[in-house]
A and B are shown apart, each in its own frame.
Chain A
């Protein structure tokens, strides 16, 4: 009863509000340039009033979201099954062919303690060593790709040679064409891929990754992207310039790839 009395009392104001809202809705749908400014004003007012209620979930949205997520989960389950099958099949085939099992590795977080002061060597001192199963030859990486490799270990420290050192070399592979080569430093922060005969398929933009030949550095670690290829008549090999993925000037934390098989043998 009280509500009816209240509605009757404020009838004019309520009707004004309703009709004004209709008018505002009409103005919002207008293509006139001033209507755009008006829309922005209305939106900012609406946002202020709507902000306290944002936390209330919309049942319909949640229902749709839930259905979409269920669908996605089912798809992912299917994909996982396929991958598992493929993984088992791969392992079985490798066993049939007598392939050596790929060594498993784990990521060991290490901090750059200092820059090595040895003349002619570009290396960093890292705060992990023998005690953490770090071996000479282990790869040093970041989330972007290969940084370098461990060249000397002590009990709680190791020395990592960067890929930008003049004596650095690692076996690498073109991810697309599977052509192998050796990655070396060229100049500044640029690398080059050597020992690639000129008749092989390498293109600008190809990703170069580690090939895994040699054992301690696993295959598939991103190194860089081919930025320039030059072929000179007199040379038998291509000159391939590679721009590394890693920003060598801003290294603070890195990961050492510790081979678990080797570590266990140790």
Chain B
């Protein structure tokens, strides 16, 4: 039990990566897909600080890209910046109120979605506004909704089980 508590956050991170590359493609609405690892990475960044968040982000990004994406390096780049921002702004080393978590996950997923969509569509002729409306917005809303659903679910109450 103690082992599980010690490594719970990393186990959850690995599970989120597996989920991202296996189940998420089937969860797409039109062309919008959520990003599950960013939620876990944000959690790590705001509870453990941006330093751990950054290392976790870089590693996760490399793994996700090598398993899944055709644009290698994009995930690690976007995860890094998103978790750095959320870690710097919302670091909170005690059990976090839902409102604060909502804000932190919102900022983090917004930064991630905007960066990811913008870089991924660099070769298109779309304007920044078009990219925001067509790609970043839906991706951000979908991912943030999952982060909030997790926060209001009974699972969130178990967050203190994770040793930090």
- A residues in contact (CB < 8 Å) with B: 11-12, 15-16, 19-20, 22-38, 41
A27 engages B71 (CB within 8 Å) = yes
27 A-B pairs in the complex with CB atoms less than 8 angstroms apart? A11-B51, A12-B54, A15-B51, A16-B80, A16-B84, A19-B57, A19-B58, A19-B76, A19-B80, A23-B61, A23-B73, A23-B77, A23-B80, A24-B73, A25-B73, A26-B62, A26-B76, A29-B72, A30-B72, A30-B74, A31-B70, A32-B71, A34-B122, A34-B123, A35-B71, A37-B122, A38-B119
Smallest CB separation, B61 vs chain A (Å) = 7
Encode B22-38 as 1/0 by CB contact (under 8 A) with A.
00000000000000000
Chain B: interface size category? 20 to 34
In the complex formed, the residue of B with least CB distance to A41 is: B122
Which residues of chain A have C-beta atoms less than 8 A from B88's C-beta?
12
In addition to A16-B84, A27-B74, 8 A-B residue pairs with Cβ atoms within 8 Å of each other are: A12-B51, A16-B50, A19-B57, A19-B76, A23-B61, A26-B72, A30-B72, A34-B124
- B residues in contact (CB < 8 Å) with A: 50-51, 54-55, 57-58, 61-62, 65, 70-74, 76-77, 80-81, 84, 88, 119-124
In the complex formed, the residue of A with least CB distance to B62 is: A26
A12 engages B84 (CB within 8 Å) = yes
A23 engages B58 (CB within 8 Å) = yes
In the complex formed, the residue of B with least CB distance to A36 is: B123
